[in-house]
Structure 1
Amino acid sequence: MTAAIAPALYRVLSPPRSEGGKAVAVFADASGDLQARAAAAGVPLSVFVEAVDVGGVSLRVFTPTQEKGSSDSGALAALAFLQTQSELLDVVEVQMGGEIMPAQLCGGEWLLRQGDVGVTEVPALDLSPLGLGVRSVQIASASRPNLVIEVADLGALEAFSPDAEGIAAVNRATGTTGLVLYTPGGPDRAEVSFRAFGPLKGFLEDGASSNMFACLVGVLGAQGRLPTDLKMLRGAQRMPGAPARLTAQFTPAANGAADVWVGGRAERVSP
C-alpha cells in the first residue's frame, strides 16, 4: 500500500508579519478516506486536488468533521500550491462544491470573482440591539445580502463585543444574513478596516470573509469612496486574535461595484 502524501500547510490572507488569517492544509491528491485525512491534518480546513490542468482545477474541501462544499480560503491555498507544482494560466476556473468560480492571478496574489455588488439604502431601523454608534447603514448583496454599517473609528470597531441574538434580530429586521462593521483606514496602510458577523449563517464572527468584503467594496463604491486610480483596495479584517488582510479588485458603479474580485496572499508554512 502506498503511503498518502503529507499535505502542504498554508496560511491564507494573513497580514504582513502576522500569523493571522486562516490555516489550510493542501493535499495534492484526493484518494482514500478524505474525511479521515482532513481530521488528521490538525487544521480547521483541508482542500484536496481532484484534477488540474492549465485552465482549471477541481477541489474538495473538508473541515475536521464534515465536507464543507466551497471555500474561498481553501481555493486560494490550493491555487498558490498548484502554481508552484504545475503551469497554470493567469485566469483559471475553480470547481468546488458544485460551483464554478473564476480566479485570476494579480500582483502575485490569487483573487476569486465575487460578482457584481448591488447596494440599497436602509429604511428607519432600530439598531439599539447592537449597542454601538452608527455613521451610515446600507444593505449590500453579492449573492447574499449583508447589512453594512460604518462606525466611528478603529477603536470603536475593535472594542465591539458581538451579541449573537442582537445581531440576528437586526438581520431578521432587514432581511439580511450577515453584518459588516467598518471604518476607514487601518494597519499596514489598509484603506478600510472591518469585522464580519453571521449568526444566521451559523457563525458568530468570521476572521476572513471574501464575500462580505466584496459587499463592503460595493458600499464604498455607492458612496464614491473607492480609489479611482488602481481599482484596488486593501482591507484589514480585525477579528480579535485573528487578523486578516484581503485585496479587492473592482469596477466602481453608481449603485455599488461591478466585477468584484477578492483574495490575497497564501504563504506556505510547512515543507
Structure 2
Amino acid sequence: MTSTETSALYRVLSPPSVEGGKTVAIFPTASGDLQARTAQSASPLSVFIESADVSGVSLRVFTPTKERGSSDSGALAALAFLQSQGTLLDVADVTMGGEVMPAQLCGGEWLLKQGDVTARAVEADLSPLGVDTGGAWVASVSRPNLVVEVADVGTLDAFTPDADAISALNRATDTTGLVLFAPGGEGRADVSFRAFGPLKGFLEDGASSNMFACLVGVLGVTGRLPTGTNMLRGAQRMPGAPSRLTAQFSPAPDGAADVWVGGRAERSAR
C-alpha cells in the first residue's frame, strides 16, 4: 500500500437513501506522515488504526489541517471497517486522544457510550434566536449544552443561525453549544434537531453524538422517551447534510442515564 491509498471510504450516519452524514477515510496502518496522508486522501476526516484486536482498537484522527483528539464519526467508521474484517467482537473499547470509549454493536449499528446525562430546566431570554420557542434546558454529558424546543420541524428547518446571538446566549447560560429540537420527523424519527456551536469553533454540526445525547437527557427529564423500547431515532437536519442517529438509553427517575449514541456506517465508492 502506498502512502496515498486508503483501505476504505465510509459514509457515516447518513439517512437511508439520502446523501448525508459524514465521509470518513480509513487507513489500516498509522505509519509515515499521517498529516500528509490525510491531505492526500481528499476526505474531510481520516482515521488511522494504530492497533486492533478482538477487544479494542486504538485510533488517531485527522482533518486536512490538524490532528483531532477524537471523533465519534471516525470511530464508527473504523469499527464498521474492522467488523467487516472479522477483527472485533460485539463489544470493544475505542482509544482516541488518550480517552477510552466503550462501544457495542446493536442491531447492525455501532453505538458509543456517551455517559450519564444530567438535564435541568433553565430560564433564559431566548428572543435573540428570532424564533418561537417552548422550554429550555441545560443538559450535560462531559460539557453543557443549551437545549431549546421549537414548535415543529418546519420551524426547525426555517431557522437561520446567527453566530453572535448563539454565542451570547451560550455565555449567558454557561453552556458551550445550542440544540434546537422538535418532535417527530421524516423516516420514522422520534425527534428532529439541529446543533450549533460557535463557541466550539463551528456554526452548525451535521452529526453530533454528544449533543444528541444531551437531547436524550432532556427527553428523559420531561417524560418523553419512548416506552416499550430503550432505543430512539434522531434526525439531525443541518441544511444540505442530514444525518440519522440512534440512541440507546437506560431510564432513570430523574432522566436518562447511560446513553449510547451511534448509527449506520456504510462503505462507499472511492
Q: What is the TM-score of this pair, normalised by structure 2?
A: 0.98
Alignment partner, residue 109 of structure 1 = 109
Gaps of 5+ in 2: none
Alignment partner, residue 156 of structure 1 = 155
Deviation (angstroms), 1:230: 1.5
| 1:75-154 matched pairs, under 5 angstroms | 75-123=75-123, 125-154=124-153
Q: C-alpha separation between the residues in 1 aligned to 2:117 and 2:101? A: 16
Alignment partner, residue 57 of structure 2 = 57
Alignment partner, residue 218 of structure 2 = 219
Q: C-alpha separation between the residues in 2 aligned to 1:152 and 1:202? A: 28
Deviation (angstroms), 1:121: 1.5
Deviation (angstroms), 1:127: 1.1
Q: C-alpha separation between the residues in 1 aligned to 2:133 and 2:255? A: 20
Alignment partner, residue 236 of structure 1 = 235
User: Given that residues 69 and 97 in structure 2 are in contact (C-alpha distance below 8 angstroms), is that contact kept between their aligned partners in structure 1?
Assistant: yes
Deviations 1:131-179 (A, max 9, x none): 1111111110011100000101010000000000000000000000000
Deviation (angstroms), 1:7: 3.2
Q: C-alpha separation between the residues in 1 aligned to 2:256 and 2:115? A: 9
What's the secondary structure of 1:189's corresponding residue? coil
Q: How many residue pairs end up in the alignment?
A: 269
Q: C-alpha separation between the residues in 1 aligned to 2:68 and 2:129? A: 30
Counterpart residue type for residue 245 of structure 1: R
Deviation (angstroms), 1:87: 2.8
User: Given that residues 206 and 236 in structure 2 are in contact (C-alpha distance below 8 angstroms), is that contact kept between their aligned partners in structure 1?
Assistant: yes
Deviations 1:91-131 (A, max 9, x none): 100001111000000000000000000011203x2111111
Alignment partner, residue 40 of structure 1 = 40
What's the secondary structure of 2:220's corresponding residue? helix
Counterpart residue type for residue 45 of structure 1: L
Alignment partner, residue 166 of structure 1 = 165
Deviation (angstroms), 1:270: 2.6
User: Given that residues 182 and 192 in structure 2 are in contact (C-alpha distance below 8 angstroms), is that contact kept between their aligned partners in structure 1?
Assistant: yes
User: Given that residues 207 and 236 in structure 2 are in contact (C-alpha distance below 8 angstroms), is that contact kept between their aligned partners in structure 1?
Assistant: yes
Alignment root-mean-square deviation, CA:
1.0
Gaps of 5+ in 1: none
Percentage of matched positions with identical amino acids:
73
Displaced runs of 4 or more, over 4 A: none
Q: What is the TM-score of this pair, normalised by structure 1?
A: 0.97
Counterpart residue type for residue 176 of structure 1: T
What's the secondary structure of 2:68's corresponding residue? coil
User: Given that residues 52 and 87 in structure 2 are in contact (C-alpha distance below 8 angstroms), is that contact kept between their aligned partners in structure 1?
Assistant: no
Q: C-alpha separation between the residues in 2 aligned to 1:252 and 1:3? A: 49
Deviation (angstroms), 1:254: 2.8
